[in-house]
A = this chain, B = another copy of it.
């Protein structure tokens, strides 16, 4: 139910085409929401049918034309109405937590390896987010309005990654395991998922 509204927020920040939005959902907004381009196209079509957004074809040199969407008056009203609507408590789900709980019913070492992988991933993201915060918001004290909102959501991303790092570290310690993989376990150290970015151009 919230993808439409996430798109409305993103389009109010700046009009965009479907793929632009998909890229944004791998960046700033992507801390707390994700969406693939297929899903975005479908929802965008429905939103246009409902009159929440309108599109114009924009020619590009050397690339196919793209349909740039913008929020209509009706779309703005819908967004404002949604923002004022009360919200039920959120349910969080974590497959990793289920694995931690059930580790005794399988190979515990394998579970510990998974934890180490996830921990490394969260550490990478935490470092990246903190770097972004230092770069884009060197002086957070004076922020207001939209900028303040963007910064505070980034703060949430940092806090969430810290939660993971702290918890998984505690888990490994309690089980007497090192946070780094032992000898010769040849993990391929890929750089992890595409580093999310805050703001900046769509491409």
Chain A residues near B (Cβ < 8 Å): 1-2, 5-6, 8-9, 12, 29, 31-34, 76, 79-84, 86-87, 89-107, 110-111, 114, 117-118, 121, 143, 145-146, 148-150, 152-153, 155-156, 159-160, 162-163, 166-167, 170-171, 174-175, 192-193
Contact = CB atoms under 8 A, between A and B. Distances in A.
A73 B41 CA distance: 45
Q: Quickly give the copy total for this chain.
A: 2
A166 B89 CA distance: 17
Contacts of A192: 89
Nearest to A9: B102
Contact of A104 (B8, B86, B98, B145): B145
A100 B2 CA distance: 13
